[in-house]
Amino acid sequence: MDGLRKWLFPVIFGVIMTGCGLWILADSMRLRASHKVIVAPMPLLAQLSAERAVRLKELRAASVYVYPDIPQTRLYLEPTTPDAFRDGTRFGSGVIISPEGDMLTAAHVIEGTCLTKDQTLTDDVYCAIVNIGHTRVYRAKLVKYDQETDIAHLKILKTQHDEVFAAVPLSRAQDDDVLEGREVLINGIPFGTANMAVMGMISNAEDRDEVCKGGIRVSIPVASGNSGGAVFDVGFGAVVGVVVTVQALGSKDGRNTAFLTITCAVSPQQIRSFLN
C-alpha cells in the first residue's frame, strides 16, 4: 500500500497540473483567435489633457490677428506680406465664426488699429487679417459694430470663389448661470510678440460692475493684444465670449504690492443680440 501511495500521488498531481496548463493555453489561443485586446482605461487627467489639446487646435485654426489695412491692395497677394506684419505696432486678435469668413473682434480694436486719421466708423473700413502662422493675409471689411458692448463683425474677402475658412461655432447657451466655473481658453497675440494660449475659468457670468458692464468675467491673466480674441469653452467646443477689457488693479500696503488682472468679455447673449 505504501508503495502504491508513493507513485499514485505524483501521477495525480501531474495530471492536475497538465490539465491546468492545457486550459490556460487554450484560453490564450482563444483570445488570440478573436483578436481581442484588453486596454486599460485612460486616466481622467489624461482624458482632460487630450480634450484640451483638441480644443486648442480648433481654436488656433480659427484665430486671427487684426492689423491696419494695406493701401496698396496688390500687396495682399505678395508671399512676404504676412510676415511683414510681425513688427506692427497696432494690432489685436479676432476669431472666425463661419466658413464663409464672418469674424468677430472688439470694436476698440477696429478703432485703434484699422481706422485712419480721416476715417470714421460710418465709412467703409477695412482691416488686414493674418492667420496664426503668419503665412496668409486677407482683407476684411467692417460689417457692423457696437461701441457700447465693444464688439465688431467683419467679413473676410475671399481670394478664391470656393475658399472656406476654419471656424469655431458660437455657444448656444441660454442661461448665463451655467457658464460660471466652466474651463475656457483664450488665444491671441499679447504685446504683438507671438501666438499664446492661456487657460482659466469663467468666474462671473454676468458682471455688472464698472469694468465688465454686463459681460462675463474670466479668471485668465491676458495682456494688450488679446483684445478681440475668443473665450473658448473647452467642454462646449464653442465661443462663449470675446475679450474686450483687460484691466490691472493694484494696491500698495507698506512693503507689499498686489496686482489683480481683470479680464472682461462680451457674453453669449450679447453676441447673439448684436449679430441678430
Could you give the number of structural domains in the chain?
A: 2
Which range marks the domain in which residue 133 is found? Answer: 46-156
* Mean predicted confidence (pLDDT) in 189-209: 78
* Mean predicted confidence (pLDDT) in 23-51: 56
pLDDT confidence bin for 169, thresholds 50/70/90: very high
Retrieve residue 264's grid coordinates.
472682461
- Judged by phi (left if over 0) then psi (alpha if -120 to 50, else beta), residue 214 lies in left
Kindly report, residue by residue over 85-141, the tens digit of the pLDDT: 776 678 899 999 999 999 999 999 999 999 877 777 667 899 999 988 778 899 999
Task: Evaluate whether residue 248 is within a structural domain.
Answer: yes
Read off the pTM. Answer: 0.77
147/184 same-domain check? no
pLDDT confidence bin for 38, thresholds 50/70/90: very low
Kindly report, residue by residue over 48-89, the tens digit of the pLDDT: 678 888 999 999 999 999 999 988 888 888 887 877 777 667
Contacts of 112 (CB under 8 A, 6+ apart): 90, 92
Contacts of 110 (CB under 8 A, 6+ apart): 66, 121, 125, 127, 142, 145, 152, 154
**Is the Cα torsion angle 199, 263, 179, 276 positive or negative in sign?**
negative
Task: Evaluate whether residue 37 is within a structural domain.
Answer: no
* Mean predicted confidence (pLDDT) in 175-203: 80
Output phi, psi for 270, to 5 deg.
-65, -40
Task: Evaluate whether residue 66 is within a structural domain.
Answer: yes
Query: In CATH, what number is assigned to the domain containing residue 137?
Result: 2.40.10.10
Q: Which of 103, 123, 156 is the last residue of a domain?
A: 156
| Predicted local confidence at residue 225, as pLDDT | 81
Task: Evaluate whether residue 188 is within a structural domain.
Answer: yes
Q: Is the pLDDT of residue 8 over 60?
A: no
Task: Evaluate whether residue 9 is within a structural domain.
Answer: no
* Mean predicted confidence (pLDDT) in 262-275: 91
